[in-house]
Amino acid sequence: MNLDLSEYKKDFPIFQRKVRGGNSLVYLDSAATSQKPTAVIEAESNFYRTINAAVHRGAHLLAEEASDAFEMSRSNVASFIGADSSEVVFTKSATESLNIIAYSLGNPDSRINIKSGDQIVVTEMEHHANLIPWQQLAKRTGASLSWLSFTEDGRIDLSNIKDVINSKTKIVAVTHQSNVFGTILPIDEISKAARAVGALVVLDACQSAPHFPINVKELDVDFLAFSGHKTLGPTGIGVLWGKHQLLEKLEPVVFGGSMVDSVTMTGATWASAPRKFEAGVPNMAQAVGLSAAIDYLRSIGLNNIAEYEHELTKYLLEGLASMSGIKVIGPLDLKDRGGVISFTVDGVHPHDVGQVLDQYGIAVRTGHHCAWPLMRKLKIAGTTRASFHLYNNREDIKQLIDGIEKVKSYFKVAK
């Protein structure tokens, strides 16, 4: 392996603990949530230790320092994705980010909104978080929902893109990288089709932002969501990015303190974006923690992380290809593919695969991965999924491969 990031594993305290069977932890579930480096844990707890106060309120020193730290975090997130600070909304999760857009677009008071007869386009490989909010928006407004399908090897099927994305289409909401297949979608082609009909593009970047460099301007999208906790950051913090002029046109979804311009007993007007989307005291320590995570990722280099995970992906795909009774669900080649590898073991249910692996300290995800329609289309109950982050290494993959052999022998399926 050309690039070795294994020295960074020691930055993650969780790897010091033992898990089932007295084993060291082999953590292969970063697509669900990533582990946290000490720098993030310290940043979050230091906020509470030293500057804790409600941001954007109060005349005291702590309020000032907390507000500065919170807004610095916003700038840091903005520069992480090539955006302006005024375009970054802190939410509690990527799920909430996507729901905010979908909900606001259903409000007739929003100056861009979805109406009866409009069409919303998603893909058949979306996570439930980028599917159900759009189903509900369609239901509330009388719009229709269409989708781009996928090919047998888990690539997006663009053969009928001009039919699916048509003159009725107002929103195209797609994932940047499938959380099941690991496929990285050709966002440029999808954006181009959306632009041709004047539709807005919403990107679910949950599986991309933590793993490779992204830039909202180069991607040519209108809204983007990602979560802090998959990006080595804390739970309880998510990001919603939107082009400023679009955010200004959207009505807020949650109302309360801090998001207003003026209030009377009978009505209120809103602050500018991003503030109007951040009612209530926000998750401040978590925003500061996310900022530390971004600093940490940048100190290693997103390109290095992407290259390293690419090598690990190659190594695991080769390992799985050499085994009998294993089927990879997703692309077998490495082109436009991230470090998420789903597979099935002939004759063994994924839940049982995961249980045996757990006995050896190997943490994987099993089941439908919140992409139930994808599983239904493939007519499978679920998969076992291994997903990486920079703290993984080849030894983890060797252990996984050995573990799968143990699964096969435990359940007495063909060698």
Partner 1 sequence: MELDSLYQEVILDHYRSPHHKGLSDDKDIQVHHNNPSCGDEITLNLKVQEGKVSDISWDGVGCSISMASASVMSDLLIGKTFREANVIFEAFMELMQSKGRSDGDESLLEDGVAFAGVSKFPARIKCALLSWMAFKDAAIQVME
Q: Tell me whether residue 349 or residue 394 sits nearer to partner 1 (CB atom).
A: 349
Q: How far is the CB of 351 from partner 1 (least distance, A)?
A: 4
Kindly give the pairing relationship between strand 365-367 and strand 88-91.
Answer: unpaired
State whether the Cα torsion 145-148-152-153 is positive or negative.
Answer: negative
Identified catalytic residue from 66, 370, 397, 404 = 370
Q: How far is the CB of 403 from partner 1 (least distance, A)?
A: 12
- Segments of 82-131 assigned E as strands: 88-91, 119-123
370 belongs to the catalytic site = yes
Backbone φ and ψ of 363, nearest 5°: -100, 110
Kindly give the pairing relationship between strand 18-19 and strand 26-27.
Answer: unpaired
- The amino acid at residue 357 is L
Instruction: Provide the 8-state DSSP code for 60.
Output: S
Q: Tell me whether residue 300 or residue 381 sits nearer to partner 1 (CB atom).
A: 381
Q: Tell me whether residue 131 or residue 292 sits nearer to partner 1 (CB atom).
A: 131
Q: How far is the CB of 201 from partner 1 (least distance, A)?
A: 30
Strand partners, 38: none
Q: How far is the CB of 40 from partner 1 (least distance, A)?
A: 27
Interface residues with partner 1 (CB under 8 A)? 20-21, 349-352, 355-356, 359, 366-368, 372, 375, 381-382, 410-411
Q: What single string gives the DSSP state of each residue in 205-265?
A: -TTTTTTS---HHHHT-SEEEEESTTTTS-TT-EEEEE-HHHHHHSPPSS-STTSEEEE-S
Q: Tell me whether residue 238 or residue 350 sits nearer to partner 1 (CB atom).
A: 350
Residue 376 host element (H or E): helix 372-378
Q: Tell me whether residue 248 or residue 352 sits nearer to partner 1 (CB atom).
A: 352
Q: How far is the CB of 32 from partner 1 (least distance, A)?
A: 12
- Catalytic residue numbers? 370
